[in-house]
Amino acid sequence: MNRARIFIVLLVAIVVGGALSYAVYNFLQNRPVTVVRTPEKNVVVAVGTLPLGTLLKEEHLKFVSWPATNLPPGYFERKEDLVARGLVQPVVENEPILESKLAPKGTGAGLPPAIPKGMRALSIRANEIIGVAGYVTVGTHVDVVLSATPPGAQEQISKIVLQNVEVASAGQVIQKDPEGKPQTVTVVTMFVTPEDAEKLTTASSQGQFQLALRHPLDLEEAKTKGMQMSQLIRGAAPQAAPVVRAARRIPQAVPVPPPIAPATNIEVIKGEQRSTVKF
E-strand stretches of 177-216: 182-192, 207-214
The pLDDT score that the predictor gives to residue 219 is 87
pLDDT exceeds cutoff 80 at 20: yes
Q: What is the pLDDT of residue 241?
A: 41
- Using the predicted structure, report yes or no on whether residue 257 has a pLDDT greater than 80: no
Q: Where are the beta strands (DSSP E) in 137-181?
A: 141-148, 157-176
* Three-state DSSP state, 147: strand
- pLDDT > 90: what percent of the chain? 16
Average pLDDT, whole number, for the chain? 78
Whether the predicted pLDDT of 232 surpasses 90: no
- Tell me what the mean pLDDT of segment 116-131 comes to: 74
Residue 248 above 70 pLDDT? no
Stretch among 19-28, 30-39, 55-64, 244-253 having the lowest mean pLDDT: 244-253
What local confidence, expressed as pLDDT, does residue 76 receive? 94
Q: Tens digit of pLDDT for each residue in 140-181?
A: 898 988 888 887 777 888 888 899 998 887 766 544 555 655
Mean pLDDT of 218-241: 73
Domain range summary for the chain, segments of one domain joined by +: 40-112, 116-234
2-11, 139-148, 210-219, 260-269: least confident range: 260-269
Fold adopted by 40-112: Type Iii Antifreeze Protein Isoform Hplc 12 (3.90.1210)
Q: What whole-number distance in Å separates Cα of residue 174 and Cα of residue 180?
A: 12
Judged on CB neighbours under 10 Å (0-12, 13-18, 19+), 146 is buried
Q: CA-to-CA distance for 66 and 82, rounded, in angstroms?
A: 18
| Dihedral-angle region of residue 259 (phi above 0 means left; psi in -120 to 50 means alpha; beta otherwise) | beta
- State the average pLDDT over residues 97-102: 90
Mean pLDDT comparison of 3-17, 77-91, 112-126, highest-scoring range:
77-91
pTM of the predicted model over 0.85? no
**Does the pLDDT at position 84 exceed 80?**
yes
pLDDT, residue 242, reads 46
123, 149, 233, 262 from 61: Cα distances, Å: 31, 52, 58, 133
Question: Would you state the pLDDT for residue 177?
Answer: 54
Straight-line distance from the first to the last Cα atom of the chain, in angstroms, rounded to the nearest whole number = 174
> Which of 80-85's residues contact partners 24+ apart within 8 Å by CB, and which partners?
81/44, 82/44, 82/56, 83/56, 83/57, 83/58, 84/55, 84/56, 84/57, 85/55, 85/56, 85/109
User: Do 99 and 74 meet the contact criterion of CB atoms below 8 Å apart?
Assistant: yes
pLDDT beyond 50 at 240: no
Highest mean pLDDT (candidates 33-42, 73-82, 132-141, 240-249): 73-82
Q: What is the CA radius of gyration of the chain?
A: 49
